[in-house]
């Protein structure tokens, strides 16, 4: 019995020293490299895999990018530059989520109306969270949103500051589901415009900053993305879901797949529970493209609930989205190595799903968008 106990303890000790997923020591265990190891930025192995490649420089169908950020108001020269990238990628409409509010939003709308590119860009309004939130803030913000919608805003965009950085007048953090904000969500419902909200950051940004964190490189490069202290990811999700539950008549588009693209079962449960919730795919291609079969099935099942969005406007990065969505290519690079060190795979969506993802769902959810340039 004593001998058996010693064997079990020794086995447990060896297992504890092994990397996650290991079932026994591997042949090279304990060896050190003979050559000087490269840094994480230097190690770029060239794959020997030979596989079919189908580059997609231009989307198969015209696209509405529901998640873009442009200057407001935009100058004619800058608009020309943006339109060049749109034409190259088959982007028909760009939704500028940085539309601001009040006078600046009106100036932005006027600039778009005066441009030579009719109906190719629209603005979403923003809430002014520059000052601390106290009693009466929500009613005032709702009144401003009403005015902004009348001035031409097609929806509301909430930035990630809400829940993480916005404060109340007593210095406390303003929860996402704070009743003070109820008039804002109700205003969206009354005007039949969507609220596109960015709550929290990727779950890994909140986890310990060690070598098991798959976003270690990004977090080491960008200090402002580290959230190892402060409000927790799950707390923000709870508050967000409470807000959604309280406002069933408001259409909520959750930016970045609600940060659930790495857990599609959870993403599906949220859509099943709340019929007023939708996702955009902005800046989560690295998660969708590493689970191609699950992503394909999810997009087919929830084809009426997902909208295209990119976030950062870099025209040369869009083709990576087209390749993931339109092909079944295997093992190709993501466009930013600090986001993801892994490869992408195409999910091969059928045309019916692509049309809804690229433009159909956006036209359904966003009143006032021009239908010109889209298939009938």
User: For position 13, what pLDDT does the model report?
Assistant: 45
36 within a domain of the structure (yes/no): no
- Total domains present in the chain: 1
56 within a domain of the structure (yes/no): no
Report d(CA 48, CA 219) in Å as an integer: 30
User: For position 376, what pLDDT does the model report?
Assistant: 73
Chain segment 17-33, per-residue pLDDT in tens: 555 556 677 788 888 99
For the domain that residue 92 is a member of, what is the CATH number? Answer: 3.20.20.140
CB neighbourhood size of 139 (10 A): 14
User: For position 23, what pLDDT does the model report?
Assistant: 66
User: For position 30, what pLDDT does the model report?
Assistant: 84
301 within a domain of the structure (yes/no): yes
Q: Which residues of the chain have pLDDT under 70?
A: 1-23
SS in 3 state form for the chain? CHHHHHHHHHHHHHHHHCCCCCCCCCCCCCCCCCCCCCCCCCCCCCCCCCCCCCCCCCCCCCEEEEEECCCCCCCHHHHHHHHHHHHHHCEEEEEECCCCCHHHHHHHHHHHHHCCCCCCEEECEECCCCCCECCCHHHHHHHHHHHHHHHCCCCEEECCCCCCCCEECCCCECCCCCHHHHHHHHHHHHHCCCEEECCCCCHHHHCCCCCCCCCHHHHHHCHHHCCCCCCCHHHHHHHHHHHHHHCCCCCEEEHHHHHCCCCHHHHHHHHHHCCCEEEECCCCHHHHCCCHHHHHHHHHHCCCCEECCCECCCHHHHHHHHHHHHCCCCCECCCCCCCCCCCECCCCCCHHHHHHHHHHHHHHHCCCCCCCCCCC
327 within a domain of the structure (yes/no): yes
40 within a domain of the structure (yes/no): no
Chain segment 111-168, per-residue pLDDT in tens: 999 999 989 999 999 999 999 999 999 999 999 999 999 999 999 999 999 999 999 9
196 within a domain of the structure (yes/no): yes
240 within a domain of the structure (yes/no): yes
User: For position 8, what pLDDT does the model report?
Assistant: 38
271 within a domain of the structure (yes/no): yes
User: For position 12, what pLDDT does the model report?
Assistant: 45
Range of the structural domain that residue 213 is part of: 63-365
């Amino acid at each position: 019995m004593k001998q058996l106990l010693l064997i079990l303890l020794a086995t447990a000790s060896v297992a504890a020293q092994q990397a996650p997923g290991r079932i026994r020591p591997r042949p090279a265990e304990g060896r050190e490299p003979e050559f000087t190891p490269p840094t994480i930025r230097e190690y770029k192995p060239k794959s020997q895999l030979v596989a079919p490649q189908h580059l997609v420089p231009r989307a198969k169908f015209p696209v509405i990018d529901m998640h873009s950020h442009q200057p407001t108001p935009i100058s004619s020269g800058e608009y020309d530059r943006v339109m060049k990238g749109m034409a190259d990628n088959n982007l028909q409409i760009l939704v500028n989520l940085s539309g601001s509010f009040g006078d600046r939003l009106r100036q932005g709308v006027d600039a778009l109306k005066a441009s030579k590119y009719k109906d190719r860009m629209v603005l979403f309004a923003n809430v002014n969270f520059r000052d601390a939130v106290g009693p009466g803030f929500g009613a005032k913000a709702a009144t401003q949103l009403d005015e902004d919608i009348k001035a031409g805003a097609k929806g509301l965009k909430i930035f990630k500051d809400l829940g993480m950085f916005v404060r109340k007048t007593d210095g406390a953090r303003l929860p996402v589901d704070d009743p003070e904000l109820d008039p804002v969500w109700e205003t969206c419902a009354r005007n039949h415009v969507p609220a596109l909200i960015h709550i929290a950051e990727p779950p890994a940004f909140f986890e310990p900053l060690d070598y098991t964190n798959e976003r270690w490189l990004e977090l080491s490069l960008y200090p402002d993305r580290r959230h190892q202290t402060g409000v927790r990811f799950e707390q923000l999700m709870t508050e967000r879901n409470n807000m959604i539950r309280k406002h069933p008549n408001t259409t909520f588009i959750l930016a970045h797949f609600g940060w659930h693209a790495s857990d599609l079962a959870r993403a599906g449960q949220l859509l099943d529970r709340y019929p007023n919730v939708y996702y955009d795919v902005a800046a989560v291609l690295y998660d969708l493209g590493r689970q191609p079969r699950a992503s394909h099935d999810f997009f087919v099942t929830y084809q009426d609930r997902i909208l295209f969005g990119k976030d950062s406007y870099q025209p040369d990065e869009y083709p990576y989205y087209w390749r993931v969505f339109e092909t079944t290519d295997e093992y190709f690079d993501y466009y930013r190595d600090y986001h993801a060190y892994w490869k992408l795979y195409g999910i091969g969506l059928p045309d019916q799903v692509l049309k809804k993802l690229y433009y159909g769902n956006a036209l359904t959810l966003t009143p006032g968008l021009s239908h010109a340039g889209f298939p009938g």
